[in-house]
Structure 1
Amino acid sequence: MTSQHVVPPGERSPEATAPRAATMSGPGGREIVLLSDPRVGRIPVVECGEPLVELDQTFGAARAPVRAGLAQRLRRAQDDLRAVGLRLEVVEGHRDPAEQQRIIDRYSSEVLAEHPGVDLLELEVLTSRFVAPIAVAPHVAGAAVDLTLADDDGPLDMGTAIDATPEVSGGRCYFDAPDIAPEARALRGILARSLGSAGLVNYPTEWWHWSYGDRYWALVTAAPLALYGPADTR
């Protein structure tokens, strides 16, 4: 892990690639700020130097690597959930930048197929509903997890599969999507209360994506800076 330093926005600054606000209307008209929004990229990062640590088997077989501070908060949420017979199952944590770019490229192609003729700025905005630009990506910083709730019999039905795109899920991947079963809605509420109490924030277009210490977290919580930049795995 590198020593403490200030991490500026990426080479392709969000101001240059998306000069206008990148928002969308969510269920019920709620405004959702997307990860491609310039306000996210303008947040400074003072890298705290926390290492990546591997989550233990109580979080599932993936044993996902995340920042130490995030792991501590996930353990707090896990302890709370055990009291009601549930647990967190984490399927992904830190992501290599090259893998992030592959996901961006793949989903951008899907978006273009759904929206032929869209301009490049709008393509970036639409793509960021599902995958973050590398410069601000919480997974690249080791600051995010993709997870679900499980019980003794395994993962529970949360309304969609993890990583269901807006197109495939008909928008039911949004955390506040209205057209999911009441049971799934209740489980999403339990997830939000547990992780929110531990200090994590949700990316509202993906019910499964939660983060701590990254630029998006700083924007949502009004923190003056982010704690984690791209994680050094050397």
Structure 2
Amino acid sequence: MDKVYDSATEALDGLLHDGMLIAAGGFGLCGIPELLIDAIVESGVKDLTVASNNCGVDGFGLGKLLDTRQIKKMLSSYVGENAEFMRQYLSGELELEFNPQGTLAERMRAAGCGIPGFYTRTGVGTVVAEGKEHKDFNGETYILEEGIFADISIVKAWKADPTGNLIFRKTARNFNPPAAMCGKVCIVEVEEIVPTGSLDPDNIHLPGIFVHRLIQGEHEKRIEQRTTRKKEDA
């Protein structure tokens, strides 16, 4: 199977439709599939549900899909750094399902392993537990969380070979592996595609069995929050 496509638009061809569920990797602006996001913006697809730790920042990453009102609902654990996200949520324009970070990651990973649900203590006694099944194990209360089975996954990796074996760079790994696992179709953008067999098997973070389509592209290196100290007097 030839997994390598020439562009993000070609890699998404035939996959997008209104009302779909998309799992997106990344954390803030670290390891986000920005080329695929841009292609989704250009497609005009709407009423999207997006499962991602957060929603980028104003005007960049998933924030672009908020600006164009293409997202109907977010499954997230953090809404900071994006004023438009907060504005749409507080005004009732955007649905939001809050998830503790670990729970969100495990919901993606579980689905990728074919597990429809799991019990966790995280969220017990809070609004997170409302409407969910409760069960006691060894005297402790747990709540049932369901796996996230996405229509597609969009993720960003550092290196790949043509079969889709992936290596992520440092903290850019973040939510990308579990997001990649839970999509019926996984599309990955990378900085470099290397020949098959050139990656050390012990260094592969996600095997190509999870990856269906692959593109290589140039990426913008943004800094989410630049912090500097005042210049000291001589």
The bucket for the TM-score relative to the shorter chain is: under 0.3
Structure in which a larger fraction of residues adopt helix? 1
TM-score, structure 2 as length reference: 0.27
Structure in which a larger fraction of residues adopt strand? 2
Larger Rg: 2
TM-score, structure 1 as length reference: 0.27
